[in-house]
Amino acid sequence: MAVNNPYQAYQQNKATTSSPGELTLMLYNGCLKFIKQAEQAIEKGNVQERNINLTKAQNIIRELMVTLKTETDLGKNMMSLYDFILNRLIEANIENSTEKLKEAEELVVSFRDTWKEAVQMDRKQRHGVQG
């Protein structure tokens, strides 16, 4: 099936040609996008939009949890943090709480920033490319 939208074609190509590290970075960025949209929905009083976006953010965190290797202490600690983030997203949705949403967002930003550095270091090491 042909893709008519050039942006959609670009995004699809990017997803199929990205490394696992880059895909994880894309998941973190997507999660943050949905958290921001949920926050805006809370401010507008739009319950449906809040629920849709928080459900998408929750699904991303669940995907990160399912793919996480927990054989090491680091993996186990990350799983605990993912579980905390997921619970905060659920509570933010139930309670219409921007405070709980901010707690989740701060952790996702921290994960994303750390992951971004790791991807850049890996890229530089493998290809001599930065960015």
- Residue 18 structure tokens: 């990205």
For domain 20-127, give the fold.
Four Helix Bundle (Hemerythrin (Met), subunit A) (1.20.120)
Residue 60: Cβ within 10 Å count: 24
Residue range 36-46: average pLDDT? 97
Among 28, 35, 52, 31, which Cα is nearest to 97's? Answer: 35
**Contacts with 45 (C-beta within 8 Å, 6 or more apart), sequence order:** none
Instruction: Kindly report which listed range (24-28, 54-58, 101-105, 117-121) carries the lowest average pLDDT score.
Output: 117-121
33, containing H or E segment: helix 20-44
pTM of the model: 0.82
For the chain, the average pLDDT equals 89
In the chain, DSSP finds a helix count (H) and a strand count (E) of 5, 0
Domain boundaries, the chain: 20-127
